[in-house]
Amino acid sequence: MLKHSRSINILIILLALSMAGGWGVYRYAHGSPSFLFYRLTFDYLLACKSKELNEQSRSGLSSTYYFTSYYLNGMISAAEGTGSDLLMRRVIRIIDTMLSTARQFESHGRIYYAWRPFSITADTAIPRPNLHFTFQATVPVARAAAVIMTHPEWKKKYESTARRYIAYADQSIIQYWYHDQLKDEIPWINPDHFPIWNDNGSNLGLITVFLYRATGDPLYRDLSKRIGCAFQAKLSPYGNGWIWENQKILVGSDRDNTPGSVGNQAGVPDTSHANREAFLMVSLYESGILFTRDDLARMADTLTDTLWNHSVDNPAFVNYLNGSDKPYRVYKEPGLNGSIYHGWALMGGYSVKAQHVMMCTLNAILLGKHNPSLERNRTSYGGKLALCGHILRNSSLIK
């Protein structure tokens, strides 16, 4: 009888463990086999990139963190989509390491902290940080603060962390660059200084919109809205989507220092750089500052109707916003400049079709299929990881 009772108890324990495990898997998968697949894929990709991310985070270089931002934004999206506290802690560890490498410098009698390299420019003989690299590298710092402060459980646990991130971004970007260096001007929205839209303006808009979400400070809201309105004024319908700076970019301009670069050959914005504007539109809309759901739907149509080749088995994306596949810089093959993993991918949160395209793209990469667009999204910094992370975030938005 005792032996029989023990057997029943063991059976009950095993059944309870099985049920608990099943419930754990269900929660992990958010009740969706598709979500489970992409979450497992994300965890695997993150494990593969763990060493690289740790090494990058210790570099102390904004020129490195510029590319680390692609990984981090994908990780933050995955944390939002899954609600994983473990993943948010991983994001925090990486950002904390990055911030610990910032170096002190002085400007106009004030002390600031920024990442190296510091260099002398045509504007000043005093070594200073690199604006372009610093702006993009700071976007995920501000974004992590916003996500923490708007997530009740994470705010309880990590509010002090978020406030450190806010303080760092504010002193580095707002106090030093905006007040000290730019003299309270945003040059990229002034057509006399920048007649063509400049991605430094987009990155500043992203930083300030996330700082606004984290703090509610009206200064941040004003800055992000001014940038957003300047970009909005450049938008024109193009088919079912948007285009901006249409035939306003000088052919052959926008060359970088890479040998063999031919610059912009289509006279319109290139697909890869326009990721930042897609990211900015989503962030301004989600913060209640600017743009409508219809605006986002049209931006999603830009991706699915103009950029995408309409293949689910062998998806590819053109090099320019007008559908042109002319060369861009050193990306001379059709579709080689079609990276969509770090901004365009977020359109999947507002378009079932765009989300399907993102899934097909990642699936094709995972299956080992090859075309220039897949290669660009496969091999670029954070490409697969970021694409998977944004897919997870999108899934939580379009349920």
Closest CA to 297 of 356, 335, 249, 241: 241
Match 């962390």 to its residue by tokens. 161
| pLDDT averaged over every residue in the chain | 94
Question: Per the domain annotation, does 83 fall within a domain?
Answer: yes
Question: Per the domain annotation, does 2 fall within a domain?
Answer: no
Which amino acid appears at position 3 of this protein? K
On the CB side of 399, CA atoms within 13 Å amount to: 12
Asked if residue 357 lies in contact with residue 18, where contact means CB atoms within 8 angstroms, the answer is: no
**Does residue 261 share a domain with residue 196?**
no
pLDDT by residue (tens digit) across 16-29?
555 556 556 667 77
Per-residue three-class SS string for the chain? CHHHHHHHHHHHHHHHHHHHHHHHHHHHHCCCHHHHHHHHHHHHHHHHCHHHHHHHHCCCEHHHHHHHHHHHHHHHHHHHHHCCHHHHHHHHHHHHHHHHCCEEEEECCEEEEECECEECCCCCCCCEECHHHHHHHHHHHHHHHHHHHCCHHHHHHHHHHHHHHHHHHHHHHHHHHHHHHCCCCCHHHCCCCCCCCCHHHHHHHHHHHHHHHHHCCHHHHHHHHHHHHHHHCCCEEECCEEECCCCCCCCCCCCCCCCCCCCECCCCCECCCCHHHHHHHHHHHHCCCCCCHHHHHHHHHHHHHHHECCCCCCCCECCECCCCCCCECCECCCCCCCCCCCCHHHHHHCCHHHHHHHHHHHHHHHCCCCCHHHHHHHHCCCHHHHHHHHHHHHHHHCC
d(CA 78, CA 390): 6
Last residue of a domain, one of 233, 253, 276: 233
**Does residue 314 share a domain with residue 268?**
yes
d(CA 159, CA 168): 14
**Does residue 203 share a domain with residue 189?**
yes
The reported pTM is: 0.93
Question: Per the domain annotation, does 199 fall within a domain?
Answer: yes
Last residue of a domain, one of 233, 264, 299: 233
Question: Per the domain annotation, does 36 fall within a domain?
Answer: no
pLDDT value of residue 21: 61
Asked if residue 240 lies in contact with residue 301, where contact means CB atoms within 8 angstroms, the answer is: yes
Question: Per the domain annotation, does 239 fall within a domain?
Answer: yes
Question: Per the domain annotation, does 7 fall within a domain?
Answer: no
d(CA 53, CA 58): 9
Last residue of a domain, one of 233, 257, 277: 233
d(CA 279, CA 281): 6
Asked if residue 231 lies in contact with residue 202, where contact means CB atoms within 8 angstroms, the answer is: yes
**Does residue 79 share a domain with residue 152?**
yes
Asked if residue 259 lies in contact with residue 251, where contact means CB atoms within 8 angstroms, the answer is: no
User: Could you tell me which residues are beta bridge partners of residue 114?
Assistant: 103
**Does residue 348 share a domain with residue 287?**
yes
In the chain, the N- to C-terminal Cα span, in Å, equals 52
How many domains in the chain?
Answer: 2
pLDDT by residue (tens digit) across 340-366?
999 999 999 999 999 999 999 999 999
Question: Per the domain annotation, does 37 fall within a domain?
Answer: no
Q: b/e per residue, 298-318, with b = 16+ CB within 10 A?
A: bbbbbbbbbbbbeeeeebbbb
**Does residue 384 share a domain with residue 292?**
yes
Range of the domain at 173: 53-233
d(CA 236, CA 153): 41
Question: Per the domain annotation, does 163 fall within a domain?
Answer: yes
* Segments of the chain with pLDDT less than 50: 1-2
d(CA 261, CA 50): 33
**Does residue 121 share a domain with residue 255?**
no
Q: What phi, psi does 82 have (nearest 5°)?
A: -100, -25
**Does residue 183 share a domain with residue 156?**
yes
**Does residue 356 share a domain with residue 288?**
yes
pLDDT value of residue 4: 54
**Does residue 238 share a domain with residue 273?**
yes
**Does residue 93 share a domain with residue 200?**
yes
**Does residue 74 share a domain with residue 195?**
yes
pLDDT value of residue 12: 57
pLDDT value of residue 50: 96
